């Protein structure tokens, strides 16, 4: 039986070490014994952007980037998207098992009771300019909830944690809808607790003067599927922020606001908004070849293509493509789809993109679908943040319950000046340009 360990010969000292291997990793702290002398700090790993560093043990989401596999708590994303509702999947992420019928009924009832926003929070939203970006409003408003529920800072009390988790999952669609209504100058629509999670979201977005809003069931179901696909994705940038902010024992509202801030970046959740800008820039199907030549010449990026983890395809993209076709049956085909399909066709045949593993990811089709449903591009990342809140909270809760975790505080490699004495102000000369 081969031994699960590394034998390391430190050529600086000719000393040998045996470093245990667990789950395909070595503990970075085991490297600290490799010293050049008694005063030496010992070895660290250097891994900018954590390209090859596991920050935690997690049982929530499994991804196999080479095989294009995504599973929540062991269940394939394809089965969950086909057979579950988003709140059912949120329960799975948070509690580790799919709910029974009575558990789901209670869970949905609990979440539904937390969809309303405190009136002071609505007034907070009214302070934004009419043209404020919805993600800026969402991040700020989620953080403001911390002031409404001060008891949330008792992060070690499971019941307190559970209540804040339900508040956040319940209120995210309300906040999201209110940011949209604010940008149009429309009155806010209160939640209708007789509607499902996504039907109620559409109600708060689109209802005008009609006494009751009736959501199109195909659009409501398509949104539910999109929410399932976006619910979690292991240690992505925003999940890492959720864990890091949460590791200081900040309350879940401030931690979620930090995670949403990370998601707003164009390299993360903002990518679907950038896809639409790219398709607008291309303008028509016949201009796709010229755009592709520009990208290959190093001018411009192919937004919505490629992924840090998936090396062959993003399993969520194929499900979204299916859902988009259902949406287009209701909304009419989005003309940008022709540009997107041509872009995908050429990119998947072109060696330049194949060699670079550039193929459509989850963001490529989600934006086209959201636009067809009537969402403006500025809302796309908000639509990502709503379901990802369940994933962030599952990651946060797992981190707090992990006895190995403590406040996240990485090391660095110092590359600055050696010690130097201060020059008094009157004697400082402007640095000479070499
Ligand atoms: C996500 O779903 O968070 C994105 O695909 C980004 C990632 O996983 O790194």
User: What is the pTM (predicted TM-score) of this model?
Assistant: 0.94
Residues 335 and 396 in one domain: no
Cβ atoms of residues 176 and 138 within 8 Å: yes
Residue 367 has pLDDT above 70, yes or no: yes
Residue 362 has pLDDT above 90, yes or no: no
Residues 313 and 332 in one domain: yes
Q: Is residue 89 lining ligand 1, measured as CB closer than 6 Å? A: no
Residue 278 has pLDDT above 70, yes or no: yes
Residue 234 CA, closest ligand 1 atom number: 8
pLDDT at 271: 84
Residue 138 has pLDDT above 80, yes or no: yes
Q: Is residue 69 part of a domain?
A: no
Average pLDDT over the chain reads: 94
Q: Is residue 112 part of a domain?
A: yes
**How many structural domains are present in the chain?**
2
Give the domain CATH number at 341.
1.10.230.10
pLDDT at 19: 98
Residue 230 CA, closest ligand 1 atom number: 2
Q: Is residue 362 lining ligand 1, measured as CB closer than 6 Å? A: yes
Q: Whose CA is nearest to atom 9 of ligand 1?
A: 236
Q: Is residue 112 lining ligand 1, measured as CB closer than 6 Å? A: no
State which of 226, 233, 304, 386 you would mutate to test the pocket of ligand 1, scoring each by most atoms of that ligand within 8 A of its C-beta: 233
Q: Is residue 3 part of a domain?
A: no
**Over residues 243-271, mean pLDDT:** 95
Residue 434 has pLDDT above 70, yes or no: no
Q: Is residue 236 lining ligand 1, measured as CB closer than 6 Å? A: yes
Q: Is residue 397 lining ligand 1, measured as CB closer than 6 Å? A: no
Instruction: Give the pLDDT confidence of 281-296 residue by residue, as tens digits.
Output: 999 999 999 999 999 9
Q: Is residue 68 part of a domain?
A: no
Q: Is residue 237 part of a domain?
A: yes
- Cα 397 versus chain centre, distance: 16
pLDDT at 356: 87
Give, in degrees to the nearest 5, the angle at Cα 417 between 412 and 419: 105
Distance from the CA of 273 to the center of ligand 1, in angstroms?
15
**Over residues 340-356, mean pLDDT:** 89
Residue 180 has pLDDT above 80, yes or no: yes
**Over residues 257-278, mean pLDDT:** 92
Active site annotation includes 57: no
pLDDT at 196: 97
Q: Is residue 8 part of a domain?
A: no
Residues 361 and 384 in one domain: no
Residues 109 and 226 in one domain: yes
Q: Is residue 233 lining ligand 1, measured as CB closer than 6 Å? A: yes
Residues 235 and 275 in one domain: no
pLDDT at 333: 83
Q: Which domain holds residue 179?
A: 80-265+376-400
Distance from the CA of 65 to the center of ligand 1, in angstroms?
12
Instruction: Give the pLDDT confidence of 87-117 residue by residue, as tens digits.
Output: 999 999 999 999 999 999 999 999 999 999 9
Active site annotation includes 106: no
Q: Is residue 225 part of a domain?
A: yes
Residue 363 CA, closest ligand 1 atom number: 5
Residues 175 and 137 in one domain: yes
* Of 30, 268, 325, 350, catalytic: 268
Residues 198 and 126 in one domain: yes
Distance from the CA of 60 to the center of ligand 1, in angstroms?
14
pLDDT at 311: 83
Residues 99 and 218 in one domain: yes
Residues 227 and 107 in one domain: yes
Residue 239 CA, closest ligand 1 atom number: 3
pLDDT at 118: 92
Active site annotation includes 307: yes
Residues 239 and 312 in one domain: no
Measured between alpha carbons, how far is 222 from 203 in angstroms, rounded to an integer? 15
Residues 144 and 261 in one domain: yes
Distance from the CA of 236 to the center of ligand 1, in angstroms?
5
pLDDT at 408: 98
Distance from the CA of 101 to the center of ligand 1, in angstroms?
31
**Over residues 328-350, mean pLDDT:** 89
**Backbone φ and ψ of 18, nearest 5°:** -120, 120
- Structure confidence at residue 45 as a pLDDT band (50, 70, 90): very high
pLDDT at 433: 74
Q: Is residue 345 lining ligand 1, measured as CB closer than 6 Å? A: no
Q: Whose CA is nearest to atom 1 of ligand 1?
A: 233
Residues 249 and 131 in one domain: yes
Distance from the CA of 363 to the center of ligand 1, in angstroms?
9
Among 174, 172, 173, 202, residue whose Cα is nearest residue 188: 174
Percentage of residues of the chain with pLDDT beyond 70: 100
């Amino acid at each position: 039986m081969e031994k699960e360990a590394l034998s390391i010969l430190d050529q600086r000292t000719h000393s040998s070490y045996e470093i245990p291997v667990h789950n395909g990793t070595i503990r970075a702290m085991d490297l600290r014994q490799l010293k050049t002398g008694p005063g030496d700090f010992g070895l660290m790993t250097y891994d900018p952007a954590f390209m090859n560093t596991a920050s935690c043990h997690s049982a929530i989401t499994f991804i196999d980037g080479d095989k294009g596999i995504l599973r929540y708590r062991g269940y394939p994303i394809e089965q969950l998207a086909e057979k579950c509702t988003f709140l059912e999947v949120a329960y799975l992420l948070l509690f580790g098992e799919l709910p029974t019928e009575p558990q789901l009924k209670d869970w949905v009832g609990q979440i539904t009771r937390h969809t309303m926003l405190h009136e002071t929070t609505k007034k907070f939203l009214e302070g934004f300019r009419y043209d404020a970006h919805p993600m800026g409003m969402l991040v700020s408003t989620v953080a403001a909830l911390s002031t409404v529920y001060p008891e949330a800072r008792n992060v070690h009390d499971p019941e307190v944690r559970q209540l804040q988790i339900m508040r956040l999952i319940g209120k995210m669609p309300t906040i999201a809808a209110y940011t949209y209504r604010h940008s149009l100058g429309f009155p806010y629509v209160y939640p209708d607790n007789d509607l499902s999670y996504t039907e109620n979201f559409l109600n708060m977005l689109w209802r005008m003067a009609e006494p009751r809003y009736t959501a199109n069931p195909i659009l409501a179901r398509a949104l539910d599927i999109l929410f399932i696909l976006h619910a979690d994705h292991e240690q992505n940038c925003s999940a890492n922020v959720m864990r890091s902010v949460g590791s200081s024992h900040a309350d879940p509202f401030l931690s979620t606001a930090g995670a949403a801030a990370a998601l707003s970046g164009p390299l993360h959740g903002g990518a679907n908004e950038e896809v639409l800008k790219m398709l607008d820039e291309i303008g028509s199907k016949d201009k796709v070849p010229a755009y592709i030549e520009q990208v290959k010449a190093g001018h411009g990026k192919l937004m919505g293509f490629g992924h840090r983890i998936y090396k062959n395809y993003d399993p969520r993209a194929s499900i979204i493509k299916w859902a988009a076709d259902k949406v287009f049956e209701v909304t009419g085909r989005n003309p940008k789809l022709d540009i997107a399909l041509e872009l995908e066709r050429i990119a998947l045949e072109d060696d330049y993109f194949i060699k670079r593993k550039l193929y459509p990811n989850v963001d490529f089709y989600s934006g086209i679908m959201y636009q067809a449903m009537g969402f403006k591009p500025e809302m796309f990342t908000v639509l990502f943040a709503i379901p990802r809140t369940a994933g962030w909270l599952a990651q946060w809760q797992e981190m707090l319950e992990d006895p190995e975790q403590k406040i996240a505080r990485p090391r660095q490699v110092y590359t600055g000046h050696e010690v130097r004495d201060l020059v008094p102000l009157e004697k400082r000369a402007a640095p000479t340009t070499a």
